[in-house]
Amino acid sequence: MSSYETDAVVSATVHTKLDTLFRRNRIRVKELLEAGVKLDGQTVNVKGWGKTLREAGAGAFAFLELNDGSTFSGVQVVITRESTEGFEAAIESGGVGASFSVVGTVVKSPAKGQEIEIKATKVHVYGGVPDSATYPMSKKRHTLEHLRTHAHLRPRSNIHGAAMRVRNAMAFATHEFFNTRGFLYIHTPIITESDCEGAGEMFSVSTLLSKHPDGKLPTTTEGKIDFTKDFFDRPSFLSVSGQLNVETHCCALSDVYTFGPTFRAENSNTSRHLAEFWMVEPEIAFADLTDNINLAEDYLKFCVQYALDNCKEDVEFFNKTVEKGLIERLQATVGSPFERISYTDAVNLLLEPAHLKKGKFQVKPVWGTDLGSEHERYLTEVVYKKPVVIFNYPKDFKSFYMRLNDDGKTVAACDILVPNVGEIIGGSQREERLDVLEKMIIEKGANPEDYKWYADLRKYGTVPHAGFGLGFERLVRFVTGIENIRDVIPFPRWPGNAAF
């Protein structure tokens, strides 16, 4: 049918994983490099994009590095004017960024740093790059800022490709971890009338704007927007967390988790915040704060080990170019227990004269107020040099749903802090006592009527339960060493930017 079908030479030996129907007409670069010299002498068909194209021998031959995104490295293809069909077109394609199908023989490579290369008998150009000099992903080094403004092309860059492979691995590790342990994945709603935190700024979801492009929305007799004219008949928003919703399924199915996008309409134009980000939120029944912390530590270690085992090349790249010492840091994370310290002990520790002096805090920690990012980073990066769990926070700056401890002053909440990122997980045992919950809702100034359904979980067959939320982009930052959160998500959204 189309030209590329004629290239369908398949090296069947490495296609063991494939099902009966979906037969790819190519071998992935990853499979090729992993098989290495085992494929010596075999004919293969590789397809991908040019990373470099270097002519040599006074135009008699050329080296084409081909990558298909399946792994960090490319494979070197040798094309010659004499014995490679399509040599001219390949040279004229522009090379970098152009797309190719290569048929050739696998041979041992004489060059350093690669076991094999391909001696091409045929090369087909799917698409060239018209003007190499203006190609936004040209061979030269680009700034992360430049890549961000070309988010549709940046998957072709080394760093974004590697970040996306690690992100994929962390997502799969998440599902693998929870599935193996018998958790059920629950899709909590994105559009909601509820406000989980009673705090975070939320985006409205509406059809009124497109219906009233003149900006004059229908109003009630009291002069307020008339939401009965809107799609959901009431004000509705993008969810800031799936927690309250996933609790409903926890209180029936015991061990559950949600993993989906969440939203904050905060005007934070920083390298740490996104308007749209993904969260992993497990919720476990018949469990207390210690169970919750144990689960969180297990889960984090599982993910880090998974990256070390399955993203070797990408992690090595990050270790070399983004954060020296990354691999060491990741190995240390899985190698020893997380430090666990109560909020009260943490504050007292920070107030010790030696730490006050060494920490040079802009704000002195005070019992009863939240720890600042400077305190958190100091604890995890300077004092303990490993992940730190802080638990039993004062109730005053924590949410209504957190279980009140017997001291009447603190709640069974926990934060997990990690070097380089700071807070990566926040969780708590949930208040399972109906009367205490109702009191806390009122104490926090929320409307009990809004949480009637949530209270029902305590009214009928209540159980002790707990859960946490992990900022998925923070996990990817932690594992890659990438500083800016905008560089670990395919299409970042921040104030003023929802492009693409």
The encoded tokens of residue 189 equal 């709603």
Part in contact with a second copy (CB under 8 A); list of ranges 25-33, 105-113, 323-331, 417-425: 25-33
Does 74 engage in binding with a second copy (CB under 8 A)? Answer: no
Residue 264 CA: distances (Å) to CA of 358, 443, 473: 35, 24, 14
From the CB of 76, what's the least distance to a second copy, in Å? 18
Alpha helices per DSSP H over 352-451: 353-359, 373-377, 434-443
Within residues 156-195, the interface with a second copy by CB under 8 A covers: 156, 161, 164-165, 167-168, 171-172, 175, 179-182, 184-194
CB 170 within 8 A of CB 240: no
**How far is residue 224's CA from residue 25's CA, in Å, rounded to a whole number?**
61
Q: Which is nearer to a second copy, 419 or 464 (CB)?
A: 464
Part in contact with a second copy (CB under 8 A); list of ranges 78-86, 262-270, 320-328, 388-396: 262-270
CB 403 within 8 A of CB 429: yes
Part in contact with a second copy (CB under 8 A); list of ranges 24-32, 54-62, 312-320, 325-333: 24-32
**How far is residue 188's CA from residue 468's CA, in Å, rounded to a whole number?**
15
DSSP state of 356: H
**How far is residue 418's CA from residue 423's CA, in Å, rounded to a whole number?**
6
> Could you tell me which residues come within 8 angstroms of residue 239 by beta carbon, excluding any fewer than 6 positions away?
188, 189, 190, 191, 192, 194, 196, 245, 262, 263
Q: Which residues pair with 45 in a beta bridge?
A: 103
From the CB of 254, what's the least distance to a second copy, in Å? 5
From the CB of 271, what's the least distance to a second copy, in Å? 18
- Output the CA torsion 76→82→83→86 (10° steps): 80
Within residues 477-496, the interface with a second copy by CB under 8 A covers: 489-491, 493, 495-496
The distance of Cα 388 from the centroid of its chain, to the nearest Å, equals: 21
CB 158 within 8 A of CB 232: no
Q: Which is nearer to a second copy, 26 or 375 (CB)?
A: 26
Using DSSP, state whether 340 is helix, strand or coil.
strand
CB 44 within 8 A of CB 27: yes
CB 140 within 8 A of CB 25: no
Q: Which is nearer to a second copy, 299 or 378 (CB)?
A: 299
Within residues 417-446, the interface with a second copy by CB under 8 A covers: 432
Using DSSP, state whether 499 is helix, strand or coil.
coil
The distance of Cα 97 from the centroid of its chain, to the nearest Å, equals: 26
Does 82 engage in binding with a second copy (CB under 8 A)? Answer: no
Pairing of strands 465-471, 276-285: antiparallel
Q: Which is nearer to a second copy, 102 or 350 (CB)?
A: 102
CA angle in degrees (0–180, nearest 5) for 126-30-39: 95
Question: Which x/- pattern, by CB under 8 A, does the window 123-162 give for a second copy?
Answer: ---xxxxx----x-x-------------xxx-xx----x-
Within residues 283-342, the interface with a second copy by CB under 8 A covers: 285-288, 290-291, 294-295, 297-298, 302
Of 82, 140, 357, 460, which lies in the binding site for a second copy, with binding defined by CB under 8 A? 460
The encoded tokens of residue 461 equal 């067959």
**How far is residue 444's CA from residue 457's CA, in Å, rounded to a whole number?**
19
CB 418 within 8 A of CB 333: yes
From the CB of 348, what's the least distance to a second copy, in Å? 22
Part in contact with a second copy (CB under 8 A); list of ranges 252-260, 368-376, 439-447, 478-486: 252-260
From the CB of 251, what's the least distance to a second copy, in Å? 8
Of 36, 69, 198, 200, which lies in the binding site for a second copy, with binding defined by CB under 8 A? 69
Does 21 engage in binding with a second copy (CB under 8 A)? Answer: yes
Of 144, 253, 327, 351, which lies in the binding site for a second copy, with binding defined by CB under 8 A? 253
Q: Which is nearer to a second copy, 330 or 371 (CB)?
A: 330
Q: Which is nearer to a second copy, 408 or 461 (CB)?
A: 461
From the CB of 262, what's the least distance to a second copy, in Å? 10
Part in contact with a second copy (CB under 8 A); list of ranges 35-43, 205-213, 322-330, 360-368: 205-213
> Could you tell me which residues come within 8 angstroms of residue 63 by beta carbon, excluding any fewer than 6 positions away?
52, 53, 54, 56, 76, 77, 78
Does 40 engage in binding with a second copy (CB under 8 A)? Answer: no
Of 11, 42, 76, 99, which lies in the binding site for a second copy, with binding defined by CB under 8 A? 99
Residue 221 C-beta-side C-alpha neighbours within 13 Å = 0
The encoded tokens of residue 448 equal 């009990």
Q: Which is nearer to a second copy, 193 or 443 (CB)?
A: 193
Does 397 engage in binding with a second copy (CB under 8 A)? Answer: no
Part in contact with a second copy (CB under 8 A); list of ranges 55-63, 211-219, 326-334, 436-444: 211-219
Does 89 engage in binding with a second copy (CB under 8 A)? Answer: no
Within residues 218-247, the interface with a second copy by CB under 8 A covers: 218-219, 223-226, 231-236, 238, 245
Does 200 engage in binding with a second copy (CB under 8 A)? Answer: no
Q: Which is nearer to a second copy, 355 or 458 (CB)?
A: 458
The distance of Cα 44 from the centroid of its chain, to the nearest Å, equals: 34
Q: Which is nearer to a second copy, 317 or 378 (CB)?
A: 317
